[in-house]
Amino acid sequence: MANILEVQDLSMYYITKSTTVRAVEDVTFSIAEGETFGLVGESGCGKSTAARALVRLLPESGKIVGGSVLYKDKNVVSMTEHEVRALRGREIGMIFQDPMTSLNPVTTVRKQFFESLKRDKNMTKAAMEERSIELLRLVGIPEPAARLDNYVHELSGGMRQRVMIAIALASQPRLLLADEPTTALDVTIQDQVICLLNDLREQLGMSILLVTHDLGVVNEMCHHVAVMYAGRIVEIADTRNPLHHPRHPYTKGLINSLPAEHDTRSRLEPINGAPPNLSREIIGCPFAPRCPHTTETCRTQLPRTVMVDEGHFVSCHLVTEAACAADSAQKQGGAQ
Ligand SMILES: Nc1ncnc2c1ncn2[C@@H]1O[C@H](COP(=O)(O)OP(=O)(O)OP(=O)(O)O)[C@@H](O)[C@H]1O
Ligand SMILES: [Mg+2]
C-alpha cells in the first residue's frame, strides 16, 4: 500500500534564549493509506510535539531543526505558510485531547461547520447545512439539526468530542491527526469514540495518526505502532510485534506496567525512575539510566536502529549485539 506520509529524521526543538528542549529527535516513520498508526509513550516523551510538527502547528519557540515530512511526496517542512494552512484545512484534519482548545466557544456549532465547509466555493448555505447535519449524524449525535444552534459549552464532554471529530471531518481529510482524542472522556464514551474513529476510517478510507498512552487502544485499533522515549522512536512495527513480541526493554516495561486483564489483584509495575530532562544533552542510550540491562556501551553510545524482523525496528544495543551475534553465527555455519 502507498504511503500517505513519510517522516524522515525529523527533529523539533523548543528553543528559547535560556533553554533548548529536544522534544523530537531523529524520528522516522511512515503511514500507509487507510491505516491507523499509533504513537505511544510516557507523558512528556514528545508525542504531541511530533504530531503537531507534521503540520507545523507549533508555538513561536518550536523549530524544526532537521529532517523532512513528505505528505503525498511534498515536503511539509519546506512549504510556504500558505501551503501548510491549505494542507491543514483540507487534507489533514486534527482532533485534540481537549475539544475546548480546538472548538470556538463564542460561535455556534453551525458557524464552525460552515467555516470549514465554505472552502468549497460551490457549496450553497442549504448544502452546508445539510452536510453539517449529515456529519453530526455520522458521529452519532442525536437530533443533529437541533445541535447546530448550540454553543460548545452547552454540550456534554462526549458530545463536544464528537462534534470536534465531525468538524474535523468536514473537509474530508485524507489523514486525521488524533492526539489523545479520548483521554478527557469517561470509559464507556472512550470506547464509543474509538469505535467511531475506526468506522469512519473504514468508511472514508482515511489514515489516522493516533497519539495515545493506552496500549489497549493501540492493540485494538492500530495497524502499526511507534514507541517513543525521550523524543526518539525506540521501537516500531506492526502491532503484532511490539505488543506481543516486544524487543526494546522500554516497550517491555510499558507492557509489564499494564494490569493483567481480568485480574483485579494484579498490580501495576511502573518502570523505575523517571525519563530524562530533554533540555539537557543526553549521552548514550536515553533509556540507559532506567534499563535493567544497561552496559557501559549503553551509557556512552547512542544505539543505532536495526531491523529485527520484517518491518520491525528497534534501537537498543542489546538487540543490535544479539542480531550481530546471530548473523555471524549464521555466516560461520554457512562457511563450514
Ligand atoms: N511550548 C513548549 N515550550 C517548551 N517545552 C515544551 C513546550 N511544549 C512541550 N514542551 C516539552 O517538550 C517535551 C515533549 O512534550 P509533549 O507535549 O510533546 O509530550 P507528550 O508526549 O505529548 O506528553 P503527554 O503524554 O503528557 O501529552 C516535554 O519535555 C515538554 O515539557
Ligand atoms: Mg501530548
Contacts of 221 (CB under 8 A, 6+ apart): 36, 38, 194, 197, 198, 210
Give the Cα separation of 192 and 162 in Å (integer).
Answer: 10
* pTM score of the predicted model: 0.90
Contact 141/156 with Cβ under 8 angstroms? Answer: no
Q: Which atom of ligand 1 is nearest to the CA of 180?
A: 27
Q: Give me ligand 1 centre to Cα 335, in Å.
A: 51
Length of the chain: 336
Q: Give me ligand 2 centre to Cα 69, in Å.
A: 20
Q: Any idea which of 89-93, 276-280, 286-290 has the lowest mean pLDDT?
A: 89-93
Q: Give me ligand 2 centre to Cα 59, in Å.
A: 14
Contact 170/95 with Cβ under 8 angstroms? Answer: no
pLDDT digits (tens, 9 = 90+) for 68-88: 999 998 999 999 999 999 998
Give the Cα separation of 331 and 336 in Å (integer).
Answer: 9
Q: Which atom of ligand 1 is nearest to the CA of 231?
A: 14
pLDDT digits (tens, 9 = 90+) for 98-156: 777 778 888 999 999 998 898 778 889 999 999 999 999 888 899 999 999 999 999 98
Give the Cα separation of 67 and 217 in Å (integer).
Answer: 29
Q: Give me ligand 1 centre to Cα 120, in Å.
A: 35
Ligand 1 pocket at CB < 6 A: 14, 21, 23, 41, 43-49, 59, 61, 213, 278
Closest ligand to 12 CA? 1
Residue nearest to atom 28 of ligand 1 (CA): 44
Give the Cα separation of 165 and 181 in Å (integer).
Answer: 9
Contacts of 208 (CB under 8 A, 6+ apart): 35, 36, 37, 175, 176, 177, 178, 197, 201
Give the Cα separation of 81 and 62 in Å (integer).
Answer: 15
In the chain, the DSSP E strands lie at 3-15, 20-32, 36-40, 62-71, 74-75, 92-95, 175-179, 207-211, 224-229, 232-238, 305-309, 312-315
Q: Which residues make beta-bridge pairs with 238?
A: 224
Burial of 225: CB neighbours in 10 Å, binned 0-12, 13-18, 19+: buried
Structural domain boundaries in the chain: 35-62+72-230
- The predicted pLDDT at position 321 comes to 84
- The predicted pLDDT at position 245 comes to 87
Dihedral angle of Cα 101, 150, 200, 219, to the nearest 10 degrees: 50
pLDDT digits (tens, 9 = 90+) for 3-21: 999 999 999 999 999 999 9
128's grid cell: 452546508
246's grid cell: 516486544
Task: Give the chain's mean pLDDT.
Answer: 89
pLDDT surpasses 60 at 266: no
Q: Which CATH architecture has domain 35-62+72-230?
A: 3-Layer(aba) Sandwich (3.40)
User: CA angle, 27 as apex, 307 and 326 as ends, to 5°?
Assistant: 15
Contacts of 274 (CB under 8 A, 6+ apart): 290
Q: Any idea which of 90-94, 217-221, 321-325 has the lowest mean pLDDT?
A: 321-325
Give the Cα separation of 132 and 111 in Å (integer).
Answer: 10
Q: Give me ligand 2 centre to Cα 320, in Å.
A: 30
The rounded Cα 168 to chain-centroid distance in angstroms is 16
Pocket perturbation via mutation, ligand 1, pick of 42, 45, 218, 234 by most ligand atoms within 8 A of CB = 45
Contact 12/198 with Cβ under 8 angstroms? Answer: no
279's grid cell: 533540555
- The predicted pLDDT at position 260 comes to 60
Confidence of residue 261 (pLDDT cuts 50, 70, 90): low
**Beta-carbon-side half-sphere exposure of residue 298 (alpha carbons within 13 Å):** 19
